[in-house]
Amino acid sequence: MTDYKKYARPAARILLQVLAALFLTSVAWVLVYRWVSPPATWLMLDRRAHAPVGKGYYGIREEGRRISYDFKGLDEVSAHVPLALIAAEDQLFLQHHGFDFNALQHAVKVNWNGKKLVGGSTISQQVAKNVFLWHGRSYVRKAAEAYFTVLIELLWSKRRIMEMYLNVAEMGDCIFGVEAAAERYFHKPADRLSPAEAALLAGVLPNPLRFRASNPGPAARAKQQRVMRNMRRLGGTRYIQAILED
């Protein structure tokens, strides 16, 4: 028993020190990204690292593919974009504090019944996952996602959360963020996107590698129309004036 106590206290002290260091590091990381745009995300690095060898844009054989990513401030993006993202992904974004428990409960019920998988993640949760974490399905990652969701809701404004989301969300094969997507699909900057174009980009977000904004099929068009109906129902861009003026 004496030997146990002899080693247990130093071990507990080391564990507490490690946990404190991890906590302070995570808080510092979130605070830095409150003002600084991420140079890349884990998913961007993964897409780049696991891309097959093939011909580049000019027919030159190259390793991997180029990541398209150009971070823009919210005032450099059409107001229809954040509205479309809220209409498509998280209509309670301005009201909740990171989690939509009714959506989570519905997702658990549907998935448990063996129907097609649906997600219940809010925009805040998706930002936590996309910016700070690796992709995958595990209880450890979900716990980390919840932790970072709480941190960004505490330390960032809703404007910053939305700004981060529309810049790091994957919108096509190696295409990240609305600016890169607007240039690739519509040959224009993101500040000139129309409501229909913003709705199309938001509609393909759940599976941007399957539903392509460059060549939308009937399913993508149906999603686009549903997003546009939600945008109108929310009241248009007046609905998001609070985060635009924050």
Mean pLDDT score, 41-46: 89
Structure-token match 């990240």, residue found: 176
User: CA nearest 185: which of 201, 204, 206, 169?
Assistant: 201
Short-list 164, 161, 237, 233, CA closest to 198: 237
User: Scanning the structure block, which residue is given the tokens 């998913």?
Assistant: 43
| pLDDT reading at 54 higher than 60 | no
Q: Of the given ranges (24-28, 34-38, 119-123, 178-182), which has the lowest mean pLDDT?
A: 119-123
Render pLDDT for 95-139 as a digit per residue (tens, 0 to 9): 999 898 876 666 556 555 555 555 578 999 999 999 999 887 788
What is the structure's pLDDT at 244? 87
The residue ranges of every structural domain in the chain are 1-36, 37-244
Mean residue pLDDT of the chain comes to 86
The more confident residue out of 1 and 246 is 246
Residue 162 has pLDDT above 80, yes or no: yes
Residue type at 24?
L
Window from 110-124, 168-182, 201-215 with minimum mean pLDDT? 110-124
Report the topology of domain 37-244.
Penicillin binding protein transpeptidase fold (1.10.3810)
What's the rounded Cα separation, in Å, for the pair 229 and 50?
38
- Full DSSP string of the chain: -HHHHHHHHHHHHHHHHHHHHHHHHHHHHHHHHHHS--S--HHHHHHHHTPPPEE-TTS-EESS---EE----GGGS-THHHHHHHHHH-TTTTTSSS--HHHHHHHHHHHHTTSS------HHHHHHHHHHS-----HHHHHHHHHHHHHHHHHS-HHHHHHHHHHHSEEETTEESHHHHIIIIISS-GGG--HHHHHHHHHTTTSTTTS-TTS--HHHHHHHHHHHHHHHHHTGGGGGHHHH--
Q: Tell which wins on pLDDT, 12 or 36.
A: 36
Give the pLDDT of residue 107.
Answer: 56
* pLDDT exceeds cutoff 70 at 60: no
Tell me what pLDDT residue 55 has: 46
> What is the model's pLDDT at position 56?
43
Total residue length of the chain? 246
Please tell me the pTM assigned to this model.
0.86
The better pLDDT of the pair 22, 63 is held by: 22
